[in-house]
Structure formats: C-alpha cells, structure tokens
Structure 1
Amino acid sequence: MPTRKRPLVLCVDDEVRSLETLERTLDEEFDVLTATGADQAFHLLEQHTFHAILCDQRMPGKTGVEFLTEVRERWPQTARLILSGYTDSEDIIKGLNEAGILQYITKPWHPDNLLLILRGACRLYELQNENELLSMEMRHSASQVEQNVKEKKQHLKQTYQLDEIRRHSTSPLNDLCEQAAKIAPYDVSVLVTGPSGAGKELFARALHYNSLRAERPFVVENCGAMPDELLASELFGHKKGSFTGAITDHVGLFERADGGSIFLDEIGEISPAFQVKLLRVLQEREVRRLGEHQRRKVNVRVVASTNRDLEEEVRAGRFRQDLYFRLAEVTLELPALERRAMDIPVLAEDFLAKSVQEFDKPAKGFTDEALDCMRRYCWPGNVRELQNEIRRMLVLAEDEWLSADLLSPRVLRAAPVEETAETEVLACLDGTLKERIETLEKRILRETLIRHRWNKSQASRELGLSRVGLRSKLERYGLNKDFH
C-alpha cells in the first residue's frame, strides 16, 4: 500500500523564533517550509505546491493580508490563514474580502487548536482538487450535477436523522430526540443549551433536516468574540464601499438561508447593542445590508445555542428578555457527557470506526480496562473531547485492540465515580471471606496498574510488594494478559 503523502504547509513570519515554534508544532503531521518575508515566500511558492499558508499579519514590507491577496490571484486553491496578535476589525474584514483567508487565528495560539484548523484547511485543499477533477470528468453536465446535488442532500438527510444520533438505549438523549422530532416540522425558534462540546450543532442540523425546510440551505455562524461590525456584515451583508475594505457587495447569511434555517452558535456572547439589531430582524423578518437603505424580506427559521444560562443573563440585565423569548419558543437542554456515561462506549466505538476510515489504520476495538477508564472520567470537553481522545489513541496504537495505556494521563488519573465504587464494594460482599478478599485485591491491583500506566516498578512500590510478588499476584488473578 503506498504511503499517504503528508500535506505541505508554508509558514511566513519575520520572527525566526516564531517560525521555529510553528515548525516544531506542525512537524509531526505536516511537511513544513518557512519564509521570513513575502519575497522568500513567493520564491518557495514557485517551486512547490502548498496545501496551506500560515502567515503573520504584521511584517516589514508587505503585510500578511497584502501578501495573501497576491497569493489568491496566482494560487487561488491554496488555503490561506492569518496569524496575528491584533484583532483590528478592519484587518479581519480586509483579509476576508481581499485575501479570501480561511481563518484569522489570534496569538497566542494553542497547539491542538492550530493543528485542528490546519487539518481542516488541508482537507479543504484536497477536496477542491477532487472537485475540479470531478467537474472535468462530468464535462459540466447539468443533469449529472443535479443528480449529485440530490444525492448529497439525501445523504445529509440520512446522516442527520434523529434516529442516527448515536446513544445507548437508556440514554437521557432518548427523550430529547423524541421532543426534537415533535418540534422539527414546525416553524418555531429553538434554543439549544448545554456545555461546550455536548453536540448542540448536531441537534440544530437534525432539526433542519427533519423539517419541511430540509431542501433549502442550512447556514452556521459562531457569534462568540466577534466585533459587532463584522458580525453584522456576516449576518446581514454589506454594500460595496460601506466601510474600509468593503470592495464588493456581500450577501449576508440571513439572505443565503432564505427558505431554510440559520444556526446562531454562542448567541449568549453577543453585545447588548447587537441584540437590538438581531431582535429587529427577527421581529420584522427583513434585513438591511450595511450601507444600504433597502430592506429585504427573509424567510428563515432560527436555531440558536449557548452554554450560558440565558434566563440568569436576562435577570442580570445582560441579555434582552424580548430577544430571549423570540429565540426560545422551545428549549432543548443537552446534558453533559458525564451525565450520560452509558453513551460513552457507544460513542467511542462510533468515533473509532470513523477514525479507522479516516486514517486508514485498522483497529478491532477497546479493551475492557480502556472502556472502564473512559466511563470513570468526567469529560469536561464532553463529546468533542471524547472524539479527540479516540483519534489520539488510534494514532498511537501499535495493536488492533486499543488499551488503557493509550489514554491521556488526565483520563487515567480520574477517580472512580461514586456509583461504580459502591457497586464494586457490594460485589466484594458476595462469597466466602477468601473470595471477598481476592475480589477486592484484584480490583486494587488493576486500578494501581492503570494509574501508573502499567509501570510495574512504581505499582509494586506503592503496594509494598516486590516485583516478583507483584508478578505472582498478576499471574494468580489472570491479569498478566491484560497488562503486558
């Protein structure tokens, strides 16, 4: 089987230390070339085919936006990203409009977040190339394109059916899915609440694709930490020349979603001033682009989400009560993953199957100890954290069965949940005194080894045993086969 070629990324920054840090961070997944300025970068672009460019904004000579604007003209398919310690809205808008940047990343950046963004950017580059090849093969056949669109829509409908949301038969999501199925066909605004990473966007898409609007667009906007002017431009659109950097007319997401649904993520983060603008749009069902007097009618279903308690925000005067009532005709409250521990094995197997296909790396499943550790951990990042953990385990795995030693230290260190501990204690009460002691001893051995990542020297010191004594007990309880 041929080795999959690693994506090639170009990093441009006038600070050598920044380039060295970027190269160290990205080197495990990407081939990286660096340049300290636009001229050197252009020379590399003429010699190589890059999947993505990661460029600093503030540089001597050409700024990052100016450089990427020229890149867009000559190498339009290369994904373009800006790194900057400044969040000036004019720079952001100019980057979006002129340079066509995919993402504006603020400093200091987090390594995991940066890797995630670059994976998506490189995947977009590959999809664009595949799309071009497919377009050439189809010879712009209208009937073939129409058929492909129908198939994609059908695939989306199938993917986001409420029955397809992965969960255990006793999951608290069952009642939530039943409620969502009842409200999906009706044009009511829905507020989806719950902690970050719990799956709020998944439910928003399910509401859309189970509604009468399923054939029309579904658009998404993250409202968190975005300047009012930029958010207004994205949602409502703007007219050419309405502000610095507005070089073309821009159609907002409300207009693009006409007849369909719009998902406003992190709605609790918008400013009081923008709350007034959004309320007016929802009340009047019309938008006015920035710099225009004309109002345009829109027919859009709004699904919003937040990890905040909006009722408390209303009482504190930070969120308008009339806007809250407009958004929350129906509220769906998603529980944190720690409140649905029975779903963890189901989700873990599902994420593993998807990762196996994505990475083209075989795996049969998880050991009992690995699943036990995952059930005991509280998962503050919820479903998203679990998904990232499974991907990490598969990448590190050397065996087809994913064992607990592949889990992150924070997951291994998790204390047993109270109910599990009580259940195990009760189990120890069955049988003769010798059998009860052996059951308890076996559990202590297993937990100690897991906590020390199967380091038998450390485990034996904690337990006050010699290595020979520990090995003897492992063989006695049949644990050696699990801890090799």
Structure 2
Amino acid sequence: MSNRPTVLIVDDEMRSLEAVERTIDDEFDVRTASGAAEAERILAEDWVQVVISDQRMPGTSGIEFLKGVRERWPEVIRMIISGYTDPGDIIEGINEAGIYQYITKPWHPDQLLLAVRNAARLYQLQREYDLLAVEAKVAAPVLERQLAQRREQLKRVFRMEEIVRAEGSPLDKICGLTRRIAGYDIVVLVTGESGTGKELFARALHYNSLRADKPFVVENCGALPDPLLESELFGHKRGAFTGAICDRVGLFEQADGGTVFLDEIGEISPAFQVKLLRVLQGGEIRPLGSNQRRMVNVRVVAATNRDLAEEVRAGRFREDLYYRLSVMHVHLPPLRARPMDVPLLAKRALEWAVKLHGKPVKGFTDEAIAFMQDYGWPGNVRELENEVQRMLVLADGEYLGKELLSAPICASGQSGGEELCSTSWANGSLRERVEKMEAHILLEVLIRHAWNKSRAAAELGLSRVGLRSKVERYGLERKLDS
C-alpha cells in the first residue's frame, strides 16, 4: 500500500485529464473520473485527500460537484480548474463549495504541482489537528485533576503553619499579620535583607488568599533593562522592537485573576516607575507597540532589600508609587535576629539536601548547631542552606560536625563572644547595649572579610589604627593576624 497522498482528477475532456495526471503522478497516487457520478463512486470507495475538478462538465458543473463533496466528505481538500480568468461570476459558488484553490487555464505545470503539494499538506495538518483535539479532549479531565491536586499541594506547603520557625520566633507575629491580610485584595510590600525569604512570604500570601486557584508569577525587576522589563510584564506586539517576531502576552495578562510578585522593585528606573504606577492605579496595561489598553485583575506583591522610604527622600523613588506599593508593609527580620530558628531551618535544609544528593545522614552534632547559632549569617537563610549543602557533600560520617563548617562560622564560635552573636544587647544600660551592638558589628564585618583589617576598616569608615583600637577594647585582638 502506497504512503503517497491520493488525488482525484475529474474532467470530461480526456486530454486535459491526462495533462493534469502527467504533471502530478510522480508524487501522488492519482485516480481519474470523467464526471461527477463516477467521481462520487471513487470517493465512497477510496481514501482521497485532494480533489481537482474542471468547472465546465456536462450535467453537473465543477462547482456543483464540489458543493456535494463538501457536504459528504468535508475533510477532502477541494480545487477547481476553470477557463474563466476572472472568477467574479462564480465567486459565490466558490465560497459555498469551500474551494481551497482556484486555478485558471492555461496553467503552468510547476504552478499546478505546487498547489497540489500545498493542498495535500493542508489535509495532513488538518488531520493532525483533529487528532490532537481528540487527545486533548480525552486528556483534559486528567490534566484538570492533576492541576487541582497540585494547587491543593501548594496550599498545604505554603500554609502559615508550615513556615519554619521556633516557638517565640519574631516570625510568629509576621505570620499572624500575613494570615490576616492574605484574604484582602491589597498591595503588599515585603522588605528585608537578601535571603530572608521574601518570595516565600509572597507565595504564602497568594496561596492563603481567594486567588489561590489562579496563577502566581514572578519577575525580578532588577535583572532587566526597561524595554525588556516592560515587554515581560505588559507584553508586546509583533514588530514593536528588533527581534519582536510575534505577539507576546505579558506576565500581568498571564496572571489575570492571580498574583504578580515584583522582586527587587527598588531597582526600577524613574521612567518605569511612572508606567507601573499607572497600572496600579487603573488596572490597565498597554503592550509595547499597541494602541489598545487592556484591563487586568491582579494582586501585586512587591519586594525589596532597600529602604524605600530613604530612596524617596533621596529622590530615587517616586513618593506616590511608594505609598501605592506600601498599602500593607511586611518586614522580615534577618536570621541573626532570630537565632532560635537556626536549628529548625538547618534541619529542613538538610532534609532537602539529602533528597537532592541521595546521601543520607542522621543530622547535626550539638556542637555544630551551637556554632551555627552563634554566627551572624549575613547571607541569611540562603547562606544557611548553602552551608548545609556544603557540609553534607563533605561529610563522611552519620552526623555533620563543626569540623565541616566554613572558617567564618567556626571563628564566630571560637571568639569567646557568644553574646556578640546573639540578641543579648537588649539588656543593660544604654552604654552597655551600644557597646555590645558595636562589638557585634565589628565581629560580623571582620568575619565576612576573613579578618582582613584593611577591607573591614574601609567598610566601617574607620582607619586601620581606629579599627585595631576598637578590636583591642572588645577583646577581639586575638582573632587578628599580626
């Protein structure tokens, strides 16, 4: 059985019929008929992809014949050859017959062959589309169930109760606040140092809200220049800029009904701040290169590690946009301000790393946990997760001990200044509290710069002599290289 497409040629003139057959029979299986009745019998018995009919035939014209083909075999691609150079007189019939190609006499062999190739390809594409439509219809209920299961799983994962924290952690109040505001469609600004989990809280806001069944999309505003950021968020029309070869739907439209998380919002330029303000005020977006505005229904959660109030005072951030973004403000404390959370976070990070690397261990030694709690974690939770992963990779035994910790973490535990890495400056006189805080800052900067006096002094705005004086005063001199 041939795999070539089958083409039926219908013409009452034998010479014309043979001419068409000779033109295409190298690439197609050809059937011929001298009239409409014979052609319909072939269509009923054979699998035909393309029909080519002459217009002028005795009895039934080509147009009338192809109208019948459309009714009985609608999937067959229909073509007509006519001596009319202007099809205006029969245009209504052409439309009723759903004719794919109108070819005038005299036709060129290459023109006819190309037209038949395209018709056969169109038939194949239609068939593939129909098969995909059937498969999609069958698979749709399964996909909907899987999507619903995934949503329920995410709702469980991002419950406030699942956010890792110890009893009495500063996060307790923050989780309570997040739970209270999650159900209200207000803009939320999440601030905090890098690595404190701002995106985690943004997802918790979304999956504890009435929008939980709709999309949650993320964009890092500091990673793209203005034109690309505008395209990512609002979309663009084809030809809007070099490389825009097709229309693109932006994240605001993709998230319609859901939540858009704008990370590093403090990095956007003043020009883009104006465009974002317009969206927040009116809920309208305009894709690049388009004259039409579109309404979107999204909740915006923004995040930054900058002090936006200070950025406003410095003239780098619009005051009206700041107040629009900070309808509700959630500030996440750094990890050094909640050392009681470190053991639980380390345990969770270890569970994840074990699954990732397939290297089971039982946990941490008490000494390792103590050292980790004493450390200031300038990189916050992200740094802790990376440290745990590093320890697991280097481990040989069942428990991760302090010998696997990085040098800065070991140094913080050896300083003898246990109180310096904690929040104990909350007690004592004002002078004592200030001194403890100053000593803590000195220690943290020295550790971060691997005890390099010049770099630490430069960051703190001190001279090298001034730094040494303070280090000696707080009993840290034994940690410095001579």
TM over 0.5: yes
The answer for the alignment partner of 1:419 in structure 2 is 419
The aligned residue for residue 232 of structure 2 is: 234
Task: For residue 357 of structure 1, report the CA deviation from its aligned partner.
Answer: 1.6
Residue equivalent to 1:204: 202
Q: Which runs of 4+ in 1 moved over 3 A?
A: 137-140, 415-418, 420-424
Q: How big is the shift at 1:143? A: 1.8
> In structure 1, what is the Cα distance between the partners aligned to 2:150 and 2:416?
44
Structure 2: any 5+ residue segments left out of the alignment? 1-134, 425-449, 451-482
CA contact (8 A) 1:188 1:301 kept: yes
Structure 1: tracts of 5 or more residues without a match? 1-136, 425-450, 452-484
Cα deviation, residue 177, structure 1: 0.2
**2: distance between equivalents of 1:400 and 1:351?**
16
Q: Within 5 Å, which residues of 2 pair with 1:61-460?
A: 141-414=139-412, 415-419=415-419
Q: 1:152 corresponds to which letter in structure 2?
A: R
Question: Which amino acid is 1:281 matched to?
Answer: V
Verify the 8 A CA contact 1:239 1:289 in the aligned structure 2. Answer: yes
Contact 1:138–1:144 under 8 Å retained in 2: no
| CA shift for structure 1 position 419 | 2.5
Give the C-alpha shift of residue 142 in structure 1.
2.0
- Once residues 341 and 136 of structure 2 are traced to their aligned partners in structure 1, the CA distance between those partners, rounded to angstroms, is 43
Structure-2 change in CA distance of 1:423 and 1:242 (3 Å): closer
Contact persistence 1:376–1:416 (CA under 8 A) = no
Query: Which structure: larger Rg?
Result: 2
Between the aligned partners of 2:212 and 2:390, the Cα distance in structure 1 is 35
Letter paired with 2:419: E
Percent identical among aligned pairs is 61
C-alpha distance in 2, partners of 1:173/1:423?
15
Aligned residue type for 1:230: L
SS in 2 for 1:250: coil
**What is residue 112 of structure 2 aligned with on the other side?**
none
**Residues 194 and 215 (structure 1), Cα distance of their counterparts in 2 relative to 1, 3 Å cut:** same
Give the SS at the match of 1:303. Answer: strand
Secondary structure class of the residue paired with 1:192: strand
Contact 1:166–1:347 under 8 Å retained in 2: yes
> Alignment partner of 1:317: what SS?
coil
Would the aligned equivalents of 1:184 and 1:210 in 2 still touch at CA under 8 Å?
Answer: yes
Shift in Å at residue 360 of structure 1? 1.4
> Structure 1 residues 407, 274: closer, same or farther in 2, change over 3 A?
same
Opposite residue 293 of structure 1, the aligned amino acid is N
Contact (CA 8 Å) 2:367, 2:402: kept in 1 or not?
A: yes
Seen in structure 2, the aligned counterparts of structure 1 residues 356 and 321 have a Cα distance that, compared at 3 Å, is same
One-letter code aligned to 2:248: H
> What is the TM-score of this pair, normalised by structure 1?
0.58
Distance 1:252 1:154 in 2: 26
Check whether the contact 2:165–2:344 (CA below 8 A) recurs between aligned residues.
yes
SS for the counterpart of 1:413 is helix
In the alignment, what sits opposite 2:445?
none
Q: Is the 2:337–2:422 Cα contact (8 Å) retained in structure 1?
A: no
**Structure 1 CA distance, aligned partners of 2:423 and 2:258?**
49
Instruction: Name the structure 2 match of 1:66.
Output: none
User: For residue 181 of structure 1, what is the amino acid of its counterpart?
Assistant: R
The root-mean-square deviation of aligned C-alpha atoms, in Å, is: 2.1
Q: Secondary structure at the match of 1:308?
A: coil
Between the two proteins, the alignment pairs up a number of residues equal to: 289
Q: Check conservation: 1:286, 1:295, Cα contact below 8 A.
A: yes
Question: Cα offset for 1:376?
Answer: 1.0
Q: TM-score, normalised by structure 2?
A: 0.58
Matches of 1:267 and 1:416, distance apart in 2: 40
What CA distance in whole angstroms lies between the structure 1 residues aligned with 2:160 and 2:242? 44
> 2:366 & 2:155 partners in 1: Cα distance?
35
